[in-house]
Amino acid sequence: MIKVGDYNFLRVKKETDFGVYMDAMGEEILLPKRFVPRGTKVGDELEVFLYHDSENRLIATTQKALGKVGDILLLKAVSVTGQGAFLDWGLMKDIFVAQSQQLSKMIAGQEYR
């Protein structure tokens, strides 16, 4: 069983021009080219972190997140909009916290738990 928001060991199923697809119990999950370790080939097993992209597709990365599902972290707000705040958690895609889910208004540059 794959764990979204956590690290998983997955096998490379096929290569494409834009990355490799990992086999996740029959489902194919993209590991974008920029995160594919040099020398990776079909059949290799990699430790990847799984998360959803902005279009809610499951994506793999070899970047190291500051935490995983269930962890309590202190994260810095990197930007704030009228809809919510984006917090840096170590991955290319920041975590979005909707304004309605904030206990108090978040401010860019401040840290939150």
pLDDT of the residue at 104: 93
- CATH class, range 7-61: mainly beta
What mean pLDDT comes out for the span 61-68? 97
Of 96, 91, 97, nearest to 50 by C-alpha is 91
Q: Is the pLDDT of residue 103 over 90?
A: yes
Do the beta carbons of residue 96 and residue 88 sit within 8 Å? no
Contacts of 98 (CB under 8 A, 6+ apart): 83, 84
Q: What residue spans in the chain does CATH classification 2.40.50.140 cover? A: 7-61
pLDDT band, residue 54 (cuts 50/70/90): confident
Q: What is the percent of the chain where pLDDT is above 70?
A: 100
Strand-strand pairing, 27-32 and 19-24: antiparallel
